[in-house]
Amino acid sequence: MYRDVATLFSAIADEVGAALRGTVDWGLSGQRDGQYSADLVADEICLRAIASAGFSVLSEESGLTVRDGQPLVIVDPLDGSTNASHGVPWFATALCLADDDGLAVGLVRNQANGVTYSAVRGEGAWLDGTRLHASPCESLGDAIIGLSGMPPANFGWRQFRAFGASALDLCLVAAGVLDGFVDCSVDAHGVWDYAAATLICAEAGASVVDGLDRMLLVRDPAMKRTPVGAATPALLAELVTARQQFT
């Protein structure tokens, strides 16, 4: 089943990518703050395919649709839509299957270049055909950290980066490109922003938690969280402590 789901996710990402390449309207939708017309185009594609497969779905753009007894697909049809609208090549489609045992299948496709991060529970994480492994970094002073939102101060990292698409940013932690990631905003992220990347990180040896010690994986679209990810437990502890200093 999981391999079939991975194939489905790849096909959905393919279709969204083709639609985005043909999109000329990169303006706001006017339906919700920060929502672009392209978000709705991508969402329609995702919802149609997920419904055809019979799964429940939780989407950033259209909320929760429950189909009795069916696993849940958590989807961000277009993560980093502001990047996409301005021609910044860092935006993605992120899909994750959650069953009774937790996160099971995840895929994050950078729609700007086709690079795909994926994972199946218990089978590792992959960047296209290359197995992913998180970095061995254990100290914040040695770390390159990805950020979302404006930090109030330097946490003590070696360097930082801010790219603007959290699903992809967290995948860089899985790939060992970044050592960690911190959301410096106040409850700005829905579960669709980090679910797929959380599984990919876990399968690569990294961890993602809520920086304020709450349950990270929620089903309520109104519940927002503060994801913090790191390559090692020691670095994760430092990042969580730093984030909690300005709650």
pLDDT digits (tens, 9 = 90+) for 105-146: 999 999 999 999 999 999 999 999 899 999 999 999 999 999
pLDDT score at 31: 83
Element (H, E) at 76: strand 72-79
Reported CATH class of domain 2-131: alpha beta
- For the sheet with 125-127, list strands across it: 63-65, 56-59, 72-79, 92-99, 102-110, 116-120, 125-127, 130-131
Q: Which residues of the chain have pLDDT under 70?
A: none
Q: Which residues pair with 207 in a beta bridge?
A: 230
Residue 109, CA atoms < 13 Å, CB-side half-sphere: 23
Q: Which helix (H) or strand (E) holds 117?
A: strand 116-120
Q: What's the pLDDT at 2?
A: 84
State how beta strands 56-59 and 63-65 pair: antiparallel
Q: Where are the alpha helices (DSSP H) in the chain?
A: 2-21, 37-53, 81-85, 166-174, 195-204, 233-244
Per-residue pLDDT of 14-34, as tens digits, reads 999 999 999 889 888 778 888
Q: Which fold has domain 140-244?
A: D-Maltodextrin-Binding Protein; domain 2 (3.40.190)
Contact 196, 95 (CB under 8 A): yes
pTM metric for this prediction: 0.97
Per-residue pLDDT at 26: 87
Domain positions in the chain are 2-131, 140-244
What pLDDT, on a 0 to 100 scale, did the predictor assign at position 21? 95
- pLDDT, position 186: 87
Q: For residue 47, report the phi and psi dihedrals to the nearest 5 degrees.
A: -60, -40
The residues, ordered by sequence, that sit 6+ positions from 76 with a Cβ below 8 Å of its Cβ are 59, 60, 92, 93, 94, 167, 190, 192, 193
